[in-house]
Amino acid sequence: MNLHTSQPSRLPQSERLARVRLARSSQIGPVTFRRLLEQFGSARTAIDALPDIARKSGAKRPIVIATRQDTIAEIESALALSAKPVIWGDPEYPTALAAIEDAPPYFYVLGDVSLLSRPNIGIVGARNASLGGCQFARGLARELTQAGYNVVSGLARGIDGAAHQGALDASLAPVGTNGATIAVVAGGVDVIYPREHADLHQRITQSGCVISEMPPGLKPQARHFPRRNRIISGLAQGIIVIEAGRNSGSLITARMAAEQGRDVFAVPGSPTDPRAAGPNSLIRDGAILCDSIDAILNVIGHANTISQFDAPSQTFNDETRPPPANNTAYNLDVILEGLMRDRTFENTNNTDDHVQTTINPAQTGGSGPASYSVATGTDGNDPGQTLYDLLSSAPIAIDSLIRASNLPASTISTLLIELELSGRVERHPGNRVSRIAN
């Protein structure tokens, strides 16, 4: 195994195709993929050895090798969307992501692929975020982008959407050193989820990029979100958590970031707000308290001082290494350990990242509003709950609630009266309101 920081030369097309086939074969996850390349030197040789590995391992579940035809069809469907495949070993594969143990064997990029190797900061948080949390995320993302960082997030409702919007605010300004925004999605790069982020998705592909390790057209499923989260943290110098419950997927992202050796920042909140439980617990466990961009730059530094993430990238000799004689000169135990680790990885459950898989978000046909979405998982079916979710213990202007909720002023007034009478909301001078602590 050769470790170095220089970019590898372009792989032969036959080997690039073989790596996609190997990655799409059943039971072959990202850890096993790398173990196989370590053992055999090339994906083509590894594919030839898979029947022997399956026989010797005595696995109950067969290893089904992806066909060449199906693999070509998947890649062609991506190219038809102008999505570029980036395969392990390609010069475009970001060094930071390659440094993590379970880096994706390949992924698709819709937009500017060159952004992936620039300094990145991840911002994640609650879907049912408060308006104050979204405003902080948007402002912080704008400042980070102006400082030259790309902002990476997951294109979800709430904090994610606000972070992308803040980065877009800055990236569109006529300043050449500004960063952009990168959206890592759980479904295909062409699948818009949630539905109201159709306009945001389009704007990101125009000035930033959307990436996914899933095939084009695939609808997101709950088990895909933890896989997406480790890419968000893997691309970034550090991760910032803004509002997250105790069982939030954002905390999984923070844990992955810590395991990957990234800096973890957390924005503190009121102990009476359940959405502050996650960041507050992270701070107790050693995360860096983040109350402004200075807290980040003091630890990581300015983007112009970072040419590339300083981490080694693995490459494997795919042309000159001879294949093992009779497929016996490989370490089966190493490969079996990889299969076991991948099964554990695949079974990771994220209870907070629930999606409605019965709805095809790619067929919505609509465009979301220009402002960032802070809608809850109810898709607006309960305006009272939507409004309440926007509130926190910090007073917020009613005019800001009207703009963020997309509800008429008369409806907001009625809902606030109901919430006030039920003892859940209190008014403050300056036409502001806040939640009442439980």
Question: Which CATH number characterizes residue 407's domain?
Answer: 1.10.10.10
| CA atoms 416, 420, 421, 424: torsion sign | positive
Closest CA to 216 of 73, 391, 385, 375: 73
pLDDT at 234: 96
User: Domain total for the chain?
Assistant: 3
Q: For residues 205 and 60, state if they share a domain.
A: no
Task: For residue 201, give its domain range.
Answer: 110-305
pLDDT at 35: 93
Q: For residues 172 and 233, state if they share a domain.
A: yes
pLDDT at 272: 84
**What is the distance of C-alpha 370 from the center of its chain?**
22
Mean pLDDT by 10 residues, the chain (438 residues): 47 94 94 94 94 82 91 95 95 94 96 94 94 94 95 96 95 72 97 94 96 95 89 96 90 91 94 90 94 94 66 44 54 86 65 35 29 38 79 80 78 80 79 78
Does some domain include residue 167? Answer: yes
Alpha-carbon gap, residue 52 to 210, rounded angstroms:
38
Cβ pair 184, 239 in contact under 8 A: no
pLDDT at 351: 41
Domain end marker among 277, 305, 333: 305
Structure pTM? 0.78
pLDDT at 247: 82
* 3-state SS track over 88-129: CCCCCCCHHHHCCCCCCCEEEEEECHHHHHCCEEEEEECCCC
Q: For residues 21 and 82, state if they share a domain.
A: yes
pLDDT at 398: 82
354 CB neighbour count, 10 Å cutoff: 12
Domain end marker among 292, 324, 346: 346
Q: For residues 84 and 181, state if they share a domain.
A: no
Distances (CA, A) of 105 to 15, 44, 85, 352: 13, 14, 11, 26
Q: For residues 124 and 208, state if they share a domain.
A: yes
323 CB neighbour count, 10 Å cutoff: 16
DSSP 310: -
Q: For residues 169 and 276, state if they share a domain.
A: yes
Does some domain include residue 415? Answer: yes
pLDDT at 315: 47
HSE-up (13 A, CA, CB side) for residue 127: 21
CATH code, domain carrying 337: 3.40.50.450
